[in-house]
Chains A and B, each alone.
Chain A
Amino acid sequence: MNLRTLLLIWISLSYNLSSYSAENFIYCSEATPAAFNPQVTTDGTSNNAAAHTLYEKLTTFQYGSTTIIPALATSWELSPDQKKYTFQIRKNVLFHTTSYFKPTRPLNADDIIFSFERMLDPNHPYHLIGGGNYEYFSGMDMGNLISKIEKINDYEITIHLNKPEAPFLANLSMSFMSILSKEYAMKLLKEKKPHLIDLQPIGTGPFKFHKYVKDTVIRYKKFEHYWGKAPAIENLIFAITPDASVRYQKLKAKECHLIIEPLPYDLASMQDDPHINLLDKAGLNIGYLAFNTQKPPFNNKLVRRAIAHTLNRDSYIQAIYLGNAIVAKNPMPPSLWSYHHDIKPYSFNLKKAKDLLAQAGYPQGFKAELWTLPVTRPYNPNGKKMGEMMQADLAKIGIQVKLISYDWPTYLKKSRDGEHQMIQLGWTGDNGDPDNFLHTLLGCSAVEAGSNAAKWCHKEFDSLITQAKIISSRKERSALYLKAQEIFHEELPWIPLAHSKIFRAMSPEVTGYKIDPLGGDIFKTVDLLSSEKEGTSP
């Protein structure tokens, strides 16, 4: 066999190697999921791999928006004292049948109680399985909020709360409140293999788990007996591809149908490529510069305002986000209800900034430290570069800034301990409720919890957002949040910097895909155009 023959064989094989086949939808994801159970994970990768494919919740967000709609619950009622939610459970919902589990009954109240009590009750047989850390459940304070879950009958339950909580339904729609099968859990317990509950998943979602090869591929099959409209694609495949440049090359080589998080500097070439569809959507996020309001000179709001007038945020949008973001003025994104549109942002005005600084007693400026974000996040893709631009801006009013950064774990620990003066941070919303931004990031209780990086506890602001938590009327809540945003603007514990867009790139054959504002990838309604389905098969 000569070299030419070998090359010909190689080329003929390569054509089969690179093309995807009919009925397979290949999604190039960015990392390995931590587990296949949203109760015990917090990252977006794991949510895509489990919560959005395999599991469902009592309520959910409408595809592509943050509106709450029924899912495994068909309807619900709130008691007059706003402390009891009664849910009607959907009938004839089946759990997945797989090689490792065959359910004998459909979903009922026991499954819902089992799923919640695993996280709630420290004496539950599954509580400590997998370490017993339910970070989201604890983080959203659900343990202190839920007092009791009562089974009325097989298809009706009541959740009793310790206090009224307006964002409760939004919390229920989050991934960590997914419903697992009690029957499967009991089978695993009997077989003395309870740890498998987080690794070999059984849910009621539109896809069922087929196979997982670590760090390589996750395979799902369409769940034929799904209670809603079954997915159009037969096989959903997650090809784990950590490098964003490689994901782009794979999309071009037709090895993926859809890729997550393209690099900002690849966006222009993707836009020009007729074989790629680039989608974008305003993200539910915010990047900000927080001041440690417990340390001088940042305990003086005149200094904070002076800095707000000094930072040229438009230039950051162009240089750091490559134009793919908007300047922020409030501590939450504009797509959230109750966003205060009438607030006037702090303009770039050096004269005003110098005057404010002089009024504050620092006419010559001062020396300070600014911590730059050590990780790449959609809300701040390049903390170091942004820090350098801020340093140059602040020098114009005499503030000599020393840039500091640590690795991510250290950065988080030190900021929680309040060692910083100015710090870059950000947040991506979990549930589309303003409380998730205002209370989580600026509430007095968040000072101790660590997520209030400004260490800012403003009594009036805190009372407004705490009040808004217990009122169910959206109109009344909105009024309170509008007032809270005005106080924020006046006091300025941090400078809102930007709200970035979310991007996804996909093959033009893909239909029925929408970007989720909460950042997840959902494939329930995805399909491929018929030409693609008739394409090359292995």
Chain B
Amino acid sequence: MKNFILKRSKDLLPTLIGVSLLSFFLVRLIPGDPVMLMLGERGANPEVYMEMKQKLGLDQPIIFQYFTFIAKAFQGDLGESLISKTSVVEEFFSRFPATLELGMASLLFALTFGIPFGVIAAVKRNGFLDYFLMTMSLVGYSMPIFWWGLILIITFSLNLGLTPVSGRLNIIYDIDPVTGFYLIDTLLPSTLSHYGLKPFFSSLAHLFLPAIAMGTIPLAVIARMTRSSMIDVLDEDYIRTAKARGISAHRIILIHALKNALIPIITVLGLMFGSIITGAILTESIFSWPGIGKWLVSSITARDYPVIQAGVLFIATFIVLINIGVDFLYTLVDPRMRKELQKVNKKRAASPTDKAPPQNEGDPL
């Protein structure tokens, strides 16, 4: 386990160097000048313009700017936003919990409904339920989020009065974010003693519609993946054997078939979580959700270089970590992977030198 994490962590450094190079230079290749943008329609005298460039360090050669950025990054300083003049690390971490909370809620929604829908469709293959669920998933996949979000608001908030329109918490609750995860912050003693459980339910109610809006596409993908994966597994010989042994249909589907069908779904899940986090911009805009999606896009529009660089770096790190997590999940679901991993560990223990095993033999994944 320790070796596995150490080995996979080695991937992180080259990835981050690559990402830093790409984000740093690509953003500067886009035409447009942050100083000009700050001055807006007003314009400015060339002296004022040059003075501002100097103050922001944008008059230095680009290579020099890159190495300054890297040197500072190693000290944990990723710079300040050109617009808000506050630390980008602080800016990122004040917004990231909101995106993560929404991402997890939408993935939970997608899994809760996507897997059962896929299983039902596979079991009732070519029947009415199969066609119905798969058509619905296609509709869900094709729906533009901004339209779907507004439909949800009009239906659930305005017509039925069941949920609030937008935001993370009813504005009347004046609470201080501690973890940034409102479902946790609203259960902290300071909030509970003042308002009771109402803020918790409020944050739950606020999470409801954005999670549905953001989770609909993943739900559709998971349902379709589960269906095709289940169909493959259900045609395997061992399932026929299990049926012949008289094992109940429920047990065959949920224990014998679903576990094996989950492997490709986990792969998709890892990739999907990354795209949920990075692609939350539309949902965040519609539901006024204060996450990183909108923050990053507005930084690109404003050519706020430090924010774009740091934001991309953080997200890349997060996605690499998620993929390490997914790889680890394989070992839990697939015993063959676990055995491979154990084999590698044994070999390492038997080896007289502490040399890494050759790639073609020892890599469990």
Contact = CB atoms under 8 A, between A and B. Distances in A.
A, B bound: yes
Interface in A497-538: 538
Contacts of B202: 13, 16-17
A17 B157 CA distance: 11
A217 B86 contact: no
B288 A242 contact: yes
Given A17-B205, A249-B154, A413-B32, A538 B285 contact: no
Given A131-B85, A138-B44, A409 B36 contact: yes
A20 B165 CA distance: 13
A224 interface: no
Contacts of A240: 288, 290
B191 interface: no
Contacts, number: 188
A51 to B, nearest CB: 17
A18 B153 CA distance: 13
A407 B36 CA distance: 13
A449 B153 contact: no
Tell me the interface secondary structure of chain A in the complex: mixed
A221 B112 CA distance: 44
A16 B171 contact: no
Contacts of A538: 170, 172-173, 195, 198
B206 to A, nearest CB: 8
Contact of A246 (B30, B166, B174): B166
25 contacts: A17-B201, A18-B157, A26-B171, A131-B55, A131-B85, A211-B176, A213-B177, A213-B290, A214-B94, A214-B95, A215-B294, A239-B167, A240-B288, A241-B166, A245-B150, A246-B166, A249-B158, A250-B165, A407-B31, A412-B37, A427-B41, A449-B42, A449-B45, A450-B36, A538-B195
B118 interface: no
A446 B43 contact: yes
Nearest to A246: B166
Given A246-B153, A410-B31, A413-B36, 12 more contacts: A16-B198, A18-B170, A21-B172, A133-B38, A215-B295, A253-B157, A412-B32, A412-B41, A413-B33, A426-B41, A427-B41, A448-B45
Interface string A128-149: 1011110100110000000000
A409 to B, nearest CB: 3
Interface string B37-59: 11111111110100010011000
A255 B171 contact: yes
A59 to B, nearest CB: 22
B171 A217 contact: yes
B270 interface: no
Interface string B255-295: 00000000000000000000000000000011110110011
Contacts of A249: 150, 153-154, 157-158, 165-166
B162 interface: yes
A409 B32 contact: yes
Contacts of B294: 215, 242
B311 interface: no
B84 A409 contact: no
Contacts of B158: 249, 252-253
Interface in A14-53: 14-18, 20-21, 24, 26, 34-35, 40, 42
A160 interface: no
Contacts of B291: 215
B34 interface: yes
Contacts of A118: none
Given A17-B170, A253-B158, A446-B43, A216 B290 contact: yes
Interface of A: 10-11, 13-18, 20-21, 24, 26, 34-35, 40, 42, 128, 130-133, 135, 138-139, 195, 198-199, 210-211, 213-217, 219, 237, 239-243, 245-246, 249-250, 252-253, 255, 406-410, 412-413, 416, 425-427, 440, 446, 448-452, 538
Contacts of A416: 36, 43
B31 A406 contact: yes
Interface string B311-333: 00000000000000000000000
Nearest to A409: B32
Residue of A128, A130, A450 with highest tally of chain B CB at under 10 A? A450
B301 interface: yes
Contacts of B34: 409
A139 B195 CA distance: 48
A139 B39 contact: yes
Given A241-B166, A250-B165, A409-B32, A139 B42 contact: yes
B164 interface: yes
Contacts of B173: 538
A17 B294 CA distance: 25
B163 interface: yes
B144 interface: no
B171 A20 contact: yes
In the A-B complex, the 7 residue pairs with the closest CB atoms: A450-B43, A409-B32, A215-B290, A451-B43, A410-B31, A449-B43, A409-B37
Contacts of A426: 41
Contact of A13 (B172, B198, B301): B198
Contacts of B161: 11, 14-15, 18
B25 to A, nearest CB: 17
B168 interface: yes
A131 B56 contact: yes
Contacts of A40: 85
Contacts of A239: 167, 171, 288
B227 interface: no
Contact of A409 (B167, B176, B303): B303
A237 B285 contact: no
Contacts of B288: 216, 239-243, 246
A170 B305 CA distance: 35
B58 to A, nearest CB: 12
Contacts of B22: none
Given A35-B84, A35-B85, A242-B294, A253 B41 contact: no
A420 B229 CA distance: 57
A410 B32 contact: yes
A138 B36 contact: no
B208 to A, nearest CB: 9
A17 B42 contact: no
Instruction: Output the residue of B84, B161, B294 with the most chain A CB within 10 A.
Output: B84
Nearest to B166: A246
B5 interface: no
B174 A211 contact: yes
Contacts of B295: 215
Contact of B205 (A10, A24, A138): A10
Contacts of A255: 164-167, 171
A456 to B, nearest CB: 14
B83 interface: yes
Contacts of A13: 198, 201-202, 205
Contacts of B164: 14, 17-18, 253, 255
A11 B205 CA distance: 10
A242 B285 contact: yes
Contacts of B177: 213
Given A20-B172, A255-B171, A410-B32, A34 B301 contact: no
A211 B201 CA distance: 22
A10 B163 CA distance: 9
Contacts of A410: 31-32
A245 B166 CA distance: 11
Given A35-B84, A42-B40, A253-B157, A219 B174 contact: yes
A246 B39 contact: no
